Amino acid sequence: MNVIETAGLGRRYGSTWALRDCTLSIPAGHLVALVGPNGAGKSTLLNLVVGLTPPTVGEVTVLGGATAGSVAALDAIAFVAQDMPLYRHLSVADMLHLTGNLNLRFDAAYARRRLAELGIGNKQKAGKLSGGQQAQLALTLALARRPRLLVLDEPTAPLDPVARHDFMATVLTAMADDGVSVVLSSHLLAELERVTDYLVLISHGRVRVNDDVENLLACHRLVSAATPERLTGIAGEVIESNTMGSQTHQLIRLAAPDTALPPTCESRAVGLEELALAYLREGITLPTLSPAGASR
Amino acid sequence: MTLDKRVSAAGEDGPSPITFRLDPASGVPTYLQLVHQVEHALRLGYLQRGDRLPKVREVVSTLAINPNTVLKAYKELETKGLTSGRPGQGTFIDGAVAQSTLPELTVLRRSLRTWFEQANAAGLDEDGIVALVTSSLRDFLERREPEPARGEQSAPRRRKGGAA
């Protein structure tokens, strides 16, 4: 089953396309990282998936064919938006009560148990909690709805490292316990390496990467040789290339994991962060050297 | 300068049920780090036949890593014949690898310790010792390679336990 499927999906705000030509299919059971530069359309895609905004063109379905925004879809998806949506003046108990009443399904016992484990008291006002606790509260409310798909928009960006670790531990434990699928957008590439097993990378409003991390790592290599000519003829796509001194390095997406490499070049595997960075740098035109900078 | 910094750490015995740690700077994929730690613990005798590995959920919640990563590591260990899963109970160290309690291990450790003391007296610090050990080991393995290696090529230091 695919948790998200889109075809030719696009969303325009005014005369600007926030997302274009997005065709994706993401299988269930993964923690999917959605990565891309600012303004690439990540939040737009997530909003389309959870049904907060309708597509301008194309289609998006979730959890094996439910139309995004339909009652069936809304019931099975939990979404935590970028700004930790909580009513700041409500107490924790009131937030629980409210969320319970607004949803068809709500596991209040789970929520209370989890909050007790976290040391978050019932009478505390949501707005008075620390950043990490607010994030945990929003996450607990989302998970108590027992979703099949959990969508998180840059959830850990404002958190300190310990709070980030704890937040991700809660998400991943829910994944281990209930098999919930997770999609999260983030800029924190180094952190993603540990938690994600599926990568979707959007750049310039287009999907550049959409694959299992294991496959991705098997298909990408950094090859180096003394001259660029020695690197020609490798079956695959050059994602990034640079020449430094007497060496040329290229990050290549091989046609297949066992694609032959010329014996005259060195090659090594790359990590997820290195791989994603290469794609993110694509299409960024380096500033032309001004006369003052040409001295280098 | 004499540094006696943590030379004794090598002699400490870890607790038998393993606790995983991750080194984010190592560049080694997370699942392989878990596999290596189990193999390492087996080699040193910290893990014995019948010991239970931590439950997937425990590993996930303490390290904040993807459950699929832990499952992959455990599957790999099972494929290697080092562990077996008992439904509903967890993953256990299998008897197939019985090299853990070699009596030589104690002797080897004692002689290493003597060597560390000499290195320490000669003024080597921890980094110096590590560098020397690493490069000597590499030399040794390279020189040994032409001899008929057990099992596959280029894996002379791994002794494969009996096939599961």
Q: What is the pLDDT of residue B102?
A: 66
Neighbours of A18 (CB within 10 A): 21
| Predicted confidence (pLDDT) at residue B7 exceeds the cutoff of 60 | no
Model pLDDT, residue A290: 45
Over 70: is that where the pLDDT of A7 sits?
yes
Cβ contact A176–B57 (<8 Å): yes
Here the tokens at position A64 are 């094996």
pLDDT at A261: 84
Q: Residue B128 above 80 pLDDT? A: yes
- To the nearest whole Å, the CA of A232 is away from the closest chain B CA by 28
pLDDT value, residue A137: 94
Q: How confident is the model at residue A92 (pLDDT cuts 50, 70, 90)?
A: very high
Q: Which residue carries 């110096």 as its tokens?
A: B128
* Residues in chain B within 8 Å Cβ distance of A177: 57
Residue range A183-191: mean pLDDT, rounded: 89
Asked if pLDDT for residue A111 goes beyond 60, the answer is yes
How much is the pLDDT for B14? 34
Mean pLDDT score, A150-165? 90
Q: Is residue B16 scored above 80 in pLDDT?
A: no
Looking only at the bridges linking them, the beta strands covering A236-244 and A198-203 are unpaired
Q: What is the pLDDT of residue A219?
A: 93
Q: Is B68 on the interface with A (CB under 8 A)?
A: yes
Question: Which residues of B fall within a CB distance of 8 Å from A32?
Answer: none
Is the CB of B91 inside 8 Å of chain A's CB atoms? no
- Rounded CA gap, A255 and A295, in Å? 40
pLDDT bucket at B146, cuts 50 / 70 / 90:
low
**Residue among B27, B29, B64 whose CB faces A172 most closely:** B64
User: For residue A71, is pLDDT > 80?
Assistant: yes
Q: What's the pLDDT at B101?
A: 59
pLDDT surpasses 60 at B72: yes
Using a pLDDT cut of 90, give the percent of chain B over it.
Answer: 30
Segment A181-190 mean pLDDT = 91
Per-residue pLDDT at B158 exceeds 60: no
* Identity of the residue in A168, A177, A271 whose CB atom sits nearest the CB atom of B64: A168
What is the number of helices (H) and of strands (E) in chain B?
5, 2
- Calculate how close chain B gets to A13, using CA atoms only, in Å: 36
Q: How far is CA A145 from CA A74, A103, B69, in A?
A: 11, 7, 26
pLDDT (0 to 100) of residue B5? 33
Distance CA B105, CA B82 (A): 20
Region A99-122: mean pLDDT is 92
Measured in whole angstroms, the distance separating CA A35 from the mean position of its chain's CA atoms is 5
Position A233 scores a pLDDT of 78
Rounded Cα gap, residues A112 and A147, in angstroms: 17
Residue B11 confidence (pLDDT) above 80: no
Q: Residues B54, B102, B78, CA angle at the centre, nearest 5°? A: 35
**Mean pLDDT, to the nearest integer, of A150-177?**
91
pLDDT at B160: 42
Is B137's pLDDT higher than 90?
A: no
Mutation for testing the B interface, residue in A171, A172, A186, A192 having most B CBs under 10 Å: A172
Task: Give A-chain residues touching B61 at CB under 8 angstroms.
Answer: 169, 172-173, 176
Confidence label for A245 from pLDDT (cuts 50, 70 and 90) = confident
Residue A284 pLDDT: 62
pLDDT, averaged across chain A: 89
First to last CA, chain B: 51
Q: In this predicted structure, what is the pLDDT of residue B139?
A: 83
Interchain contact B34–A (C-beta under 8 A): no
Q: What are chain B's domains?
A: 5-93 (1.10.10.10), 102-143 (no CATH)
Who's near A149: CB < 8 A, 6+ residues apart?
A: A3, A4, A62, A63, A76, A77, A78, A180, A181, A182, A183
**CB spacing of B68 vs A196 below 8 angstroms:** no
Q: Of B59, B50, B75, B55, whose CA–CA distance to B21 is shortest?
A: B59
